[in-house]
Chains A and B, each alone.
Chain A
Amino acid sequence: MRLLRVQFKDARHNLAFEEAMCLASGGPTLRLWRNPPTAVIGYAQFARAEVNLETCMQYGVQVVRRHTGGGAVYHDYGNLNYSVVVPRSSGIVKGKLSSVYRRLLAPVLLALEELGVAADIRDTNSVFVGGTKVGGSSAHLGETAFFFHGTLLLNADLTMLWRVLTPLKEYECPAGSVASRRVPVTNLSEVIGCPLNVPRLEALVVRGFEKVLCSHAIPTEPSREEMELEMNLFDTKYSRDWWNLEGRMGRDVRGQM
């Protein structure tokens, strides 16, 4: 398994790289990365109904659509993001989707356990500590690969999180789009009650995935194919408002997605 630490300063590049990983033929891969302050919305979401765009503009928070499903999340450098690509033929992605999520979230739970935090999975794919959410995840089934990614709140700016993820009342979620579920969230540093040893958590997450995927993680640079795909996806999609904000639907789509 390859271990990538690719990280851009622009969230749109980071999310474009996620899709590039999924399209490229890089084989089993684990990526650990962080985003600058960003509202990341799900594939089928209506941006205005999920995010307060005015606040985002005011505070310089980017709004980027991801290619996986689910609801809106807030990222900043106080989050740890992990992404995994496995072949569709892999046994780990067989069977019920809830079981697939359970298997792929197990490394995260294991890592938290090592830190003395008892976490569990709720709502299929969210990581909870007690009754409070500390992380979410979502996935995309590609032609040849299963792509899974998630985030953990370590010491993110929760005030900004709620500011950004509280849309203006007048924007309702239109029929057909996916609405976010709003649940209480907290940072892992709050749960532990002391500053988090982030490098240790990262190492534990890597070890967790190594165990679950039965494969040693080898630090690698992204492939040329991945970088080219990323550039192309950024130019044609992730740098564009039609993708991030409108997520154009219906007649005028003309196969652009």
Chain B
Amino acid sequence: MDIVMPKLGIMLKGKIVKWLKAEGDYVQAGEGLFTIETEKVTHTVRSPVSGVVVRILHPQGSVVPVGQVVAIIQEGEAATVHVPADEERGIAARTVMYSIPLEGVKGVTAHRMLESSRKSPRAAVGLDILMDEAISIRKRMADAGKKISLTDLVIWAVSRSLEANRVVNSVALDDCVQVFEQINVGFAVDTPKGLMVPVIPEANKKEVTEIAALRADLTKRVQEFSHSETDITGGTFTVSNLGTLGIDRLIPIVNPGEAAILGVGRIGPRAIVRGGAVGIGQVMEVWLAFDHRAINGAEAARFLADLKNRLEDPKEGGLKE
């Protein structure tokens, strides 16, 4: 539905002094949408319908003639409204697949967690992953001319594990957890200008070789600072690998707008127990840091267990060489 600049008295145009909702926000019928000011008279324009604000056509501060469309609202319930992707600009779509109301135990947990840490309450879970099989697959693929890195393999596995554990691919807002439909995996890159997080859109729909190609390209672009805004927009989950810098384990800070981040440590030989005997295995330690409002410990643990299984036996986990 088109929202137009209303007429106050016989005014011809109004200045939008505040947007009370942003694009992507849900607005209820009768709730304030924006405030206009004209000749020192303020007036809050309320939404005539319930739905999601899909487009704001005039930013704060614009003077808009009466009758002109200022915003578009897609009518519907909060949980079912689909926000179309901005294909023209090529931003990886990041739309809400479903919302989980923060009610009952989850609501109580959310509020307690928030109260205890004042901001988003963080927690982390970690485990060791045996990488012997992944390393040999990687070698086999390299021999066949398909070069992938272990980070590519981790991103591939993460995207599949997110698909199986949807709640990890989300963000906690004040009153709900929004679970995203797309799985857009960001990966932290140390660039001369600082930490950048380019995004692989819908990594779960890409094979590991595609992920490798895209990641190499994105890394190069952010390193050279020749990337576009779209390359670093729309992430729903982040992987931070400091293993290449020799770090055994890291518990990163969750990116704002996301609910979890995976810290990947170095792969190295460790003593492991196999069939009652001590042997040597190539082990990688991973930690999932998460916003406890969105994800519970058990959910985080299930995600990590899924990731471990996939990386310890990538073929079984669905990897196509």
Chain A residues with CB under 8 Å of chain B are 42-44, 67-70, 93-98, 100-101, 124-125, 137-143, 175-178, 247, 249-251, 253-257
- Chain A residues lying within 8 Å of B135, measured Cβ to Cβ, are none
B27 to A, closest residue via Cβ: A255
Knowing A44-B17, A125-B40 touch, does A255 contact B31 (C-beta < 8 A)? Answer: yes
- Chain B residues lying within 8 Å of A137, measured Cβ to Cβ, are 40
Within 8 A of A (CB), among B1-43: 8-11, 15, 17-22, 25, 27, 31-32, 35, 37-43
- Chain A residues lying within 8 Å of B62, measured Cβ to Cβ, are 176
Query: CB < 8 Å: which of B21, B32, B60 contacts A176?
Result: B60
A69 touches B17 (CB 8 A): yes
Q: Can you name 19 A-B pairs with beta carbons within 8 Å?
A: A43-B35, A43-B42, A67-B42, A97-B9, A97-B41, A98-B39, A101-B39, A124-B39, A124-B40, A138-B40, A139-B41, A140-B42, A176-B60, A176-B61, A176-B62, A249-B18, A250-B60, A253-B19, A257-B44
Chain B residues with CB under 8 Å of chain A are 8-11, 15, 17-22, 25, 27, 31-32, 35, 37-44, 46, 59-62, 173-174
* Bound-complex Cα distance A253 to B18 (A): 9
B17 touches A175 (CB 8 A): no
Query: CB < 8 Å: which of B25, B32, B40 contacts A257?
Result: B32
B43 to A, closest residue via Cβ: A141
- Chain B residues lying within 8 Å of A125, measured Cβ to Cβ, are 39-40
B22 touches A69 (CB 8 A): no
* Bound-complex Cα distance A247 to B46 (A): 19
Knowing A43-B17, A44-B18, A176-B60 touch, does A97 contact B42 (C-beta < 8 A)? Answer: no
* Bound-complex Cα distance A227 to B43 (A): 23
| A43-B17, A44-B35, A124-B40 given; 5 more Cβ-contact pairs under 8 Å | A97-B39, A137-B40, A139-B40, A140-B41, A255-B21
Give the shortest distance, in Å, between A63 (CB) and chain B (any CB): 18
* Bound-complex Cα distance A253 to B21 (A): 7
Give the shortest distance, in Å, between A41 (CB) and chain B (any CB): 13
Query: CB < 8 Å: which of B11, B22, B61, B173 contacts A97?
Result: B11
B17 touches A177 (CB 8 A): yes
* Bound-complex Cα distance A138 to B10 (A): 17
Query: CB < 8 Å: which of B40, B44, B61 contacts A70?
Result: B40
B25 touches A96 (CB 8 A): no
Give the shortest distance, in Å, between A158 (CB) and chain B (any CB): 22
Knowing A178-B17, A254-B174, A255-B32 touch, does A249 contact B39 (C-beta < 8 A)? Answer: no
Q: Give the 7 A-B CB pairs with smallest separation, nearest first.
A: A176-B61, A44-B17, A70-B40, A141-B43, A69-B37, A138-B40, A69-B40
A68 touches B40 (CB 8 A): yes
* Bound-complex Cα distance A140 to B32 (A): 14
- Chain B residues lying within 8 Å of A100, measured Cβ to Cβ, are 9
* Bound-complex Cα distance A94 to B7 (A): 12
- Chain A residues lying within 8 Å of B59, measured Cβ to Cβ, are 176
* Bound-complex Cα distance A69 to B38 (A): 8
Knowing A44-B17, A253-B20, A257-B35 touch, does A141 contact B11 (C-beta < 8 A)? Answer: no
* Bound-complex Cα distance A96 to B39 (A): 10
- Chain A residues lying within 8 Å of B40, measured Cβ to Cβ, are 42, 68-70, 124-125, 137-139
A174 to B, closest residue via Cβ: B61
B21 touches A68 (CB 8 A): no
Knowing A68-B42, A125-B40 touch, does A96 contact B10 (C-beta < 8 A)? Answer: yes
A250 touches B41 (CB 8 A): no
* Bound-complex Cα distance A254 to B22 (A): 8
B10 to A, closest residue via Cβ: A96
B45 to A, closest residue via Cβ: A141
B175 to A, closest residue via Cβ: A254
In this complex, the member of B15, B59, B61 whose beta carbon has the largest number of chain A beta carbons within 10 angstroms is: B61
A141 touches B42 (CB 8 A): yes
* Bound-complex Cα distance A139 to B230 (A): 43
* Bound-complex Cα distance A176 to B36 (A): 11
* Bound-complex Cα distance A177 to B35 (A): 12
